Chain A
């Protein structure tokens, strides 16, 4: 009944890994370097789009709503870099302001649906039983209808308007987040550190906010960016059929719709806004994909 001699041994566990932590910039760069190149490409592209949209007010060479019927459907020139539309409005100016609507609506609905979906999913997972079962069946039901159809139905019910659009899009888009958050929460809930937190006497709310959500945030963020691209296209679709922004305000999808009859005479009028939607959606999708996948380096297995 004695303690082994090794107790007298000194502590050899000291390693000085944590003494200095690199700055946020360096860590962000390191994070990007670990991802696939599409991550960095997506971030750069999205940053450029955002910068252009933010500064659009100062960058537009003409008033985007100013008509000049004498200069209709002009091709690219030194005065109008991307030409003019069927009402003689400067295409470049309209393109610069035309992204505001889609991106703002998409971002607002995305944030709303991510928050609502995550909260419902996590609570559903922690609650379990009948609550969980019912929530997930509702999710199944909503997911089985195409987004645009449900959104059009809701807009028809509530009447047009930005508020309606946001509500309708949120109703159709919280479900994937709820499903993902529930799965993640169930997985994290089984982890020992949740048990440890319970044994330390943490409350349910604290465990959800402090332990479950931080551990689920990366897949949820990746999902968020992937859905952002999806959302931009849905908003575009609704705007294209006239359920979005009202004239004279510019919107990429609405520009495509109004230029469609002139496709043969002035294809740029359709191609440019289409390309703008495509590139913006692509950039956020790349960010989402890059967040999910880590670049394989020489030392990695599998």
Chain B
């Protein structure tokens, strides 16, 4: 381990990392040292993010609002809002550098090789366009099909994603659909070009609980059938547990913990992950109040020095590394196998079981 004093705030943790994928197997998506800035003069909102996704793998990206999850997804597609810009790092998809792609290649990537679904499915459908035509758009662009052929294909897709009476649904407008139905349409659009990667940005947040379950099952079914990798962005740990193989936890623009889902959820190493799991279990403290993490969600912009989670951390003040916690940011360190955490106390703190398996 490097002495805390030697670590500058600009340190790139990528240097310390072993690639997740087995040697020789190229990851499908490789994000290295990604930095995204909003506006000018401020600190980046995503700061040196590394993430790899292999073919057919489901990776969950977890974190609270403002931690940079959605920006990460949009960076992969190079579709950041005008105020934000990638200022460092690289994104490789299937071996191609996304940052160096020309517009035509980018359009082929978006929707062709990477599909994406969103939190607000109804807002994602053009109100003046029949939903069938909207899904067909993607097929016409990426597969070069005629309108008739594309619509025929859409019927098959609609049937696959569980939309009843697909022939008549085709001619519906967005306002005639329910939220769950609209999400199915979006999934059909995202799957239409047989992408290698599906980015699901909080796909069930806006939906009713029963519909949530249906949508999740549909996603799981489709990705198994197509051997498609999924980047699942969510803050719902139940969804993470149900669907993903690997989980990456983000806090204030940094990955703070990463590893196989089972290991991370059963034996979290980072105090933030631990607290997150406790909160999601709706456990109560001694006074009977629901457990919460003190303080507000920090954006990467207002971190001064030291560990980004330190101000809200329950361990920092009392640990033997208390000084380090305040003065320097830890790197992402291996704790066991592929499980890594960004905490000075990784090895000091015992892997505490916070999840009792519910039947």
Measured CB to CB, the residues of A under 8 A from B are: 1-4, 6-7, 9, 11, 13-19, 21, 128, 191-193, 195-203, 206, 210-211, 214-215, 217
Contact = CB atoms under 8 A, between A and B. Distances in A.
B176 interface: yes
Nearest to B119: A192
Nearest to B112: A201
Contact of B137 (A128, A192, A202): A202
B120 A210 contact: no
Contacts of B138: 200-201
A18 B209 contact: no
Given A11-B214, A200-B137, A203-B107, A195 B129 contact: no
Given A4-B209, A13-B164, 10 more contacts: A4-B213, A18-B172, A19-B165, A193-B125, A201-B107, A201-B109, A201-B110, A201-B112, A202-B107, A202-B111
B113 to A, nearest CB: 9
B110 A200 contact: yes
Contact of A201 (B82, B108, B124): B108
Given A9-B214, A19-B168, A199 B242 contact: no
A193 B110 CA distance: 14
A201 B77 CA distance: 10
Contacts of B127: 193, 215
B189 interface: yes
A3 B109 CA distance: 32
Interface string B246-264: 0000000000000000100
A200 B209 CA distance: 27
Interface in B149-204: 162, 164-165, 168-169, 171-172, 176, 178, 180-181, 186, 189
A202 B265 CA distance: 39
A7 B213 contact: yes
A3 B137 contact: no
Contacts of A19: 165, 168
Contact of B123 (A191, A197, A210): A191
B136 to A, nearest CB: 11
Interface in B244-298: 262, 265
B142 A7 contact: no
Contacts of A11: 162, 164, 214
Contacts of B128: 211, 214-215, 217
B112 A3 contact: no
A197 B133 CA distance: 12
Contacts of B111: 199-202
Contact of A210 (B103, B106, B129, B178): B129
In this complex, the member of B112, B138, B162 whose beta carbon has the largest number of chain A beta carbons within 10 angstroms is: B138
Contacts of B129: 210-211, 214
Nearest to A213: B128
19 contacts: A1-B265, A3-B213, A3-B216, A6-B213, A6-B214, A7-B213, A18-B168, A191-B123, A193-B123, A193-B127, A198-B110, A199-B77, A200-B110, A202-B111, A210-B129, A211-B126, A211-B128, A214-B128, A215-B128
Contacts of B344: none
Nearest to A190: B81
A195 B168 contact: no
Given A18-B176, A202-B137, A215 B126 contact: yes
B194 to A, nearest CB: 13
Given A13-B178, A17-B176, A18-B169, A198 B79 contact: yes
A21 B107 CA distance: 35
Contacts of B108: 201
B116 interface: yes
Contact of B126 (A2, A15, A193, A199): A193
A168 to B, nearest CB: 35
A22 to B, nearest CB: 13
A18 B174 CA distance: 11
Contacts of A14: 164-165
Contacts of A199: 77, 79, 110-111, 116
B168 A3 contact: no
Per CB-CB distance, the 7 closest pairs between chain A and chain B, nearest first, are A201-B111, A200-B111, A201-B110, A192-B123, A196-B124, A201-B107, A214-B128
A19 B125 CA distance: 20
B208 to A, nearest CB: 10
Interface string B40-71: 00000000000000000000000000000000
